[in-house]
Structure 1
Amino acid sequence: MHRVKIVIIGSLLIVLATLISSSTKIHKIESLRKKSSLTMFHGTVAVDSCIRLTAEGNDCNASAAEDTRPLTQLLKSDRLSIELHARETNASNTDYPRTIAAKLATNESSSPGFRLFSDEYVDKPDRTCRDFPAGNFTRRRNRPSGSASPPVSLHRLVKGEGWSTANDTSKAAVCRYTLSTLHFPHFMQQIVRCWSFWQRRLPQPSVLLVPSTLDSMKRRQENFLQGMLEALTNALNVSIVSNHTDPSVEIADGVAAYAFARLEDAVVLRNAVISYFAPQAAALLQKEKDEKDTGARPLRIGILNRRGGRRILNEKDLQGVLQRHTDVTVADFEKASFADQVSFYAMQDIVISSHGAQVTGVLFMPTCAGLLELFPQGYCLPQFFGSLALYSGLEYGYIYLSDGKSDHETKEAKRTLKGRIHARKLDLCPPVGKVVDAVEQLIEARRQCLRQTI
């Protein structure tokens, strides 16, 4: 009899402890919701309106949540955790209000992520980026509107005696390479201008004159450079020579880091290179064009990382959030062939990448696609690849990962060689929430662009 009493008392104590624990958890949730105006999520639908009912042991309305189990039952689940997530932002930016959300974390694949064109999304707090500044997103909208009105006069892109043979079909259209560097991003700065010149001079033969560095250029071990030389020769019908007797033009300074004279020049170059190096991608893009893609199909988003300086440290966090709602490809070009690089860019609607040479291939992205470029503190150059994106018919935006002014901090870093090297080597940890918002804006810009293009 005495043992029975002990068992009964022990059982009552266990039940009482369970009730106190559940009540404490429920009280914490209610307290958090009242103090911070929290929205509770479970599955993929907000269940804020069901919090009080489920705390009392009643089921939520099925239309309000996917998981209709009582909250008291959820609280007993080992998989449940309550976390706070402060949406990353610059506190001084009143247009980007700081919000807080609570997360009911589960292992289901339908766990909350970002929602296209909605401010309601939840993701795990990014502990990797805790000590990094939030930064700010900037979108540039001065994309050339089309080929009907040239964005830049060709005479502002190239200059020289080569203009004198414009009406002489017996002469070649010769464009002289004038840079001492052979690094492929700078090589392409001249090629895009030369390409617009060659397009205006058809049917005259197109010639790239490389007086003193042609042998070094052909020996340089850069897959992009070697691939582009092959593209010029075999896909674009350009002769590459070290000397030529016909008058030539050379690149004029100014305008932008990269510039085509007309948007259609970029399209012709892009299509020719993709067809030659990535025929499967070319076929798919043509099919989507024939079907009049308006941005309604599933998106393809690429995260392009680096192995040296300016690595994206939270690449997996970004991928984990984005791939819940669309196709995400993660890549780096450390050993990628030129064909692989062309194929990657041709198949992406949005590319997220830190500033670096790997971004040169954005000119192979489809018209209206978007580039989100990431910059570390003290090294912000959106006018470089930003101009290549805009003059290639893309949408462009960037995040400068600092709370300071980009122009001032970049200028200060450039004052010394040590400062410049330090800024260029900084790794990046962009806030997931900030990236999601930027991607949403680029997706909407892409949709609007596609509607205007079709």
Structure 2
Amino acid sequence: QFIQALQDALGVQLMMTEEHQVATTIINTTENVAAEPPPSRTTIVQRRGAIGSFRHDAARGFAMAQALDGNRLRDGILSYYNITTHQDHHHAPLSLAGCAPMRATGDAYPESHKRLPVIGFLNRQGTRRTTNHEELVKVIQERFGARGNNNQSFQTNNIRRNDNNTDDFVFYYQDSFDGMSFLEQITFMAKVDLIIGPHGAQLTTIPFLPNCGAVLEFLPKGYIYQHYFGSLATATGHGHMTLYTGQNQTKDGTYFMKTLPRRNKVRRKSIWVDPVVLVNAMEHMIDNWQKCCRRQQS
């Protein structure tokens, strides 16, 4: 469906090749959490009350000549299918997402750009499902003030984030992309600024996030594979972070990633995410998103 959309929307003919490129990821440890704006990526190692981070270079599992090409691809497909103007099945206008000044209150767009991004939680069915998603949704509600019903769409009004600004916070939970069409999937991605959720094929829709968008990817214990979707995010100019849900990334990676049978076993595991670590990581994502939008508005 994606290839067909590319051909229909952009008027190109795509050909498959058998060329593969091998890239090596260099890991540098840092003392503090620093989820850098694109194209850098950060891995968060889960520990209650603290976050340890590992910053990676941009391994090129996916590549484009420049991130602007990813923007053209996204905008061309969304425009072709009229996704940029209509409302989704929750009756939420897609224009809520992105850095556009239409969300500003008052006559001028706030220079500090302190409003909250639209956040989506994209879960999975089957392997690598985040099993404590209900707990995480509740904690996100409590931390950021979201209220909602049916575990699907949460919208709030007048959430105070600091002494100088009050703004709306919109949060969506999607249990999986199973049974959803390609257009429904990219519509979901187009209406959120930041996406959180487990590692999996559903993240191939990262290119359809708005400008300054980013993803926080949950990795099951023993499965150390940050560069796959990280390189896709980098190629399309989006931010990428991984939250490793084990305790010792170096030790676990040395053992579980050493052989294919072990790797296949751990990649099927369900995922439990520490709520404290998650909301702290989300704060860093939000801060980076706001900084990115300020740069775009300057």
Q: Normalising by structure 1, what TM-score?
A: 0.45
Q: CA deviation at 1:390?
A: 2.3
SS of the residue corresponding to residue 178 of structure 2 reads coil
Whether the 8 Å contact between 1:311 and 1:427 is mirrored in structure 2 is yes
What code does the residue aligned with 1:364 have?
F
Kept in 2: contact 1:257–1:387 (CA 8 A): yes
Paired residues of 2:224 and 2:253 also in contact (CA < 8 A): yes
Partner secondary structure for residue 80 of structure 2: helix
Matches of 2:282 and 2:77, distance apart in 1:
27
Residue 231 to residue 440, structure 1, CA distance change in 2 (3 Å): same
C-alpha offsets along residues 28-60 of structure 1, whole Å, 9 cap, x if unaligned? xxxxxxxxxxxxxxxxxxxxxxxxxxxxxxxxx
Are the structure 2 counterparts of residues 290 and 231 from structure 1 closer, same or farther at C-alpha, using a change threshold of 3 Å?
Answer: farther
Corresponding residue number in structure 2 for 1:235: 9
**Would the aligned equivalents of 2:21 and 2:61 in 1 still touch at CA under 8 Å?**
no
Residue equivalent to 2:236: 392
Q: In 1, Cα distance between the equivalents of 2:76 and 2:60? A: 24
**What is the Cα deviation at residue 422 of structure 1?**
1.6
- Structure 2 CA distance for partners of 1:318 and 1:414, relative to 1, 3 Å: same
The answer (yes or no) to whether the contact 1:367–1:392 under 8 Å persists in 2 is: no
What one-letter code is carried by the residue in structure 2 that aligns with 1:302?
Answer: G
In structure 1, how many angstroms separate the alpha carbons of the residues matched to 2:140 and 2:114? 17
Please give the alpha-carbon distance, in whole angstroms, between the structure 2 residues aligned to 1:236 and 1:394.
Answer: 21
- Three-state SS of the structure 2 residue aligned to 1:239 is coil
Which of 422, 428, 438 is the matching residue for 2:265?
A: 422
Shift, 1:339, TM fit: 0.6
SS at the partner of 2:135? Answer: helix
Partner of 1:257: helix, strand, or coil?
coil
In structure 1, give the amino acid aligned to 2:66: R
Residue of structure 2 equivalent to 1:284: 95
Q: What is the Cα deviation at residue 450 of structure 1?
A: 0.9
Provide closer, same or farther for how the CA distance between residues 433 and 333 of structure 1 changes in structure 2, counting only shifts above 3 A.
Answer: same
Q: 1:329 aligns with which of 164, 172, 175?
A: 172
Shift, 1:397, TM fit: 1.4
Q: Which amino acid aligns with 2:185?
A: Q
Higher relative contact order (CA 8 A, sep 6+): 2
Offset at residue 421 of structure 1 (A)? 2.2
> Of residues 186, 189, 196 in structure 2, which corresponds to 1:345?
189
Identity, in percent, stands at 29
Q: Distance in 1 between matches of 2:260 and 2:296?
A: 45
Query: Is 2:105 aligned against 1:261?
Result: no
User: Unmatched 5+ residue regions in structure 1?
Assistant: 1-226, 243-247
Contact preservation (8 Å) 2:94, 2:191: no
Partners of 2:61 and 2:99 lie apart in 1 by: 31
Report the Cα distance in structure 2 between the residues aligned to 1:306 and 1:388, rounded to whole angstroms: 19
CA contact (8 A) 1:233 1:240 kept: yes
Shift of 1:427: 0.7
Alpha-carbon deviation of 1:290? 5.4
1:413 pairs with 2:256: yes
Counterparts of 1:158-307 in structure 2, within 5 Å, are 227-240=1-14, 253-254=22-23, 256-277=60-81, 278-280=83-85, 284=95, 289=100, 291=102, 295-307=113-125
Separation in 2 of the partners of 1:439 and 1:269? 27
Change (3 A) 1:295 1:397: farther
- Looking at structure 2, the residues matched to 251 and 420 of structure 1 have their Cα atoms a distance apart, in angstroms, of 21
- Counterpart Cα distance in 2 of 1:381 and 1:296: 33
Match of 2:241, SS state, is strand
Over 3 Å counting, the alpha-carbon distance change for 1:359 and 1:264 in structure 2 is same
- Measured at CA, do residues 283 and 319 of structure 1 come closer, stay the same or move farther in structure 2, by a change above 3 Å? closer
Q: C-alpha distance in 1, partners of 2:2/2:61? A: 19
Alpha-carbon distance, 1:383 to partner: 1.1
How far did 1:452 drift? 1.0
Larger radius of gyration: 1
Between 232-241 and 250-259, the greater mean CA deviation after superposition: 250-259
What is the alpha-carbon distance in structure 2 between the residues aligned to residue 301 and residue 228 of structure 1?
24
TM-score normalized with structure 2 length:
0.67
Aligned-residue CA RMSD in angstroms? 2.7
Name the SS for the 1:371 alignment partner.
strand
The 8 Å contact of residues 302 and 330 in structure 1, kept in 2 or not, is answered as yes
1:89-143 Cα shifts (integer Å, max 9, x gaps): xxxxxxxxxxxxxxxxxxxxxxxxxxxxxxxxxxxxxxxxxxxxxxxxxxxxxxx
Alignment of 1:74-89 (within 5 A): none
Bigger proportion of residues as helix: 1
Deviations, residues 179-214 of structure 1 (Å, cap 9, x unaligned): xxxxxxxxxxxxxxxxxxxxxxxxxxxxxxxxxxxx
Q: Is the 8 A contact 2:97 2:192 kept in 1?
A: no
Deviations 1:338-379 (A, max 9, x none): 011101111111111111111111111011112111101111
Q: For the structure 1 residues 251 and 379, does the alpha-carbon distance in structure 2 shift closer, same or farther, using more than 3 Å as the test?
A: closer
User: How far did residue 287 of structure 1 move?
Assistant: 8.8
Question: Residue 396 of structure 1 contacts residue 442 of structure 1 at CA under 8 Å; is this kept in 2?
Answer: no
Quote the offset at 1:416 in angstroms. 3.5
User: CA separation in 1, counterparts of 2:219 and 2:15?
Assistant: 38
CA–CA distance in structure 2, aligned partners of residues 284 and 228 of structure 1: 23
Superposition deviation, residue 249 in structure 1: 11
Judging changes above 3 Å, is the alpha-carbon distance between structure 1 residues 298 and 452 closer, same or farther for their aligned structure 2 residues?
A: closer
| Alignment check: 8 A CA contact 2:221 2:252 kept | yes
* 1:388 partner letter: L
* Cα shift at 1:382: 1.1
